[in-house]
Amino acid sequence: MIKTKAYTHIARLYDLLDLPFEYGRYRPLRQTIWDGLHGRILDAGVGTGRNMAYYPAASQVTGIDLSPAMLRRAIARRQRLKCDVDLHEMDVLATTFAPKHFDAIVSTFLFCVLADIDQLPALMELRRVIKPDGEVRILEYAYSARPLKRLIMRLWAPWVKWMYGATFDRRTEQYVEQAGFDLVAQRFLHQDIIKLLVLKPKPPD
C-alpha cells in the first residue's frame, strides 16, 4: 500500500521539497510522457497535480490519488490553472471505473511508492480499465549503473523511503507480462535513472 500517512504530513511541503527536481529533471519528462495522447486519459497517482500543465488539449483527463491531503493540493492547482480534470480519491489497486474505460493511462512515479506485493495487482487493475488498443505509460526511477551515481542514490535511499515511501528498485517491468501487457518500449529519459515503460494490452488468444 501507498504510505498515505506520510503524504498527509508532507503534502503542504511536497511541491517545495520537490522543486529542485521538478525544474532540474521532471518538467521536460512530463512533456514527453503526455505527448500524442488523446481521448479519455487516467492520471494514476495524480499527487499535487504537477502533470496538469501538460495534459493534451481536447482530452478528458481523470486524476486519482489515495491521499486526501495530496488531492487537496491538486484541487487548488486545478483552480489556479483552470484545468478541466476530474479528481477522485481512489486506490489504484481497486478503482471504480468500468472495464475498458480509458484510451490511455499515465503514471508518473506512482509505482516507485507501491510495495512489491502491490505491483502486479496495480498493473492488473490498469489492464482492466484500459481499452484493448490503449496505451499505458509509466515513469519511474532505477538505480544507475554508474558506480558513483549508484552510491549516491544508495545513500539517499533511506531518506527517500522514510519521506516518500519510495524506492529506486521496484523493476515494475518484471510484472508486465503476467498482468496481461506487452512491454512495447523501455528507455531512459534522464541519464540512466529515470525510465519510461510503454505498455500495450496483450491481444486475446
- Kindly report the backbone phi and psi dihedral angles of residue 37, in degrees, each rounded to the nearest multiple of 5, phi listed first: -85, 155
Q: State pLDDT tens for residues 18-51.
A: 656 666 678 889 999 999 999 999 999 999 999 9
What per-residue confidence (pLDDT) applies to 2?
Answer: 47
Residue 105 near residue 130, CB atoms below 8 Å:
yes
Confidence of residue 9 (pLDDT cuts 50, 70, 90): low
What residues contact 155, with CB distance under 8 A and at least 6 apart?
none
- Helical segments of the chain, H only: 4-21, 27-34, 68-81, 116-129, 147-164
What per-residue confidence (pLDDT) applies to 17?
Answer: 58
The two beta strands, 60-65 and 102-108, are unpaired
Q: 12 pLDDT exceeds 80?
A: no
Q: 95 pLDDT exceeds 80?
A: yes
Residues 76-100, mean pLDDT to the nearest whole number: 96
Calculate what percentage of the chain has a pLDDT beyond 70.
88
Residue 182 near residue 17, CB atoms below 8 Å:
no
Q: State pLDDT tens for residues 119-167.
A: 999 999 999 999 999 999 999 999 999 999 999 989 988 888 877 778 8
Residues 167-175, mean pLDDT to the nearest whole number: 90
Residue 189 near residue 139, CB atoms below 8 Å:
yes
Q: 1 pLDDT exceeds 70?
A: no
Residue 181 near residue 129, CB atoms below 8 Å:
no
What per-residue confidence (pLDDT) applies to 162?
Answer: 73
* Domains and their CATH numbers in the chain: 4-200 (3.40.50.150)
Separation between Cα atoms, residue 162 and residue 17, nearest integer Å: 14
Separation between Cα atoms, residue 197 and residue 193, nearest integer Å: 13
Q: Give the number of other CB atoms < 10 A from CB of residue 199.
A: 27
Confidence of residue 3 (pLDDT cuts 50, 70, 90): very low
Calculate what percentage of the chain has a pLDDT beyond 90.
72
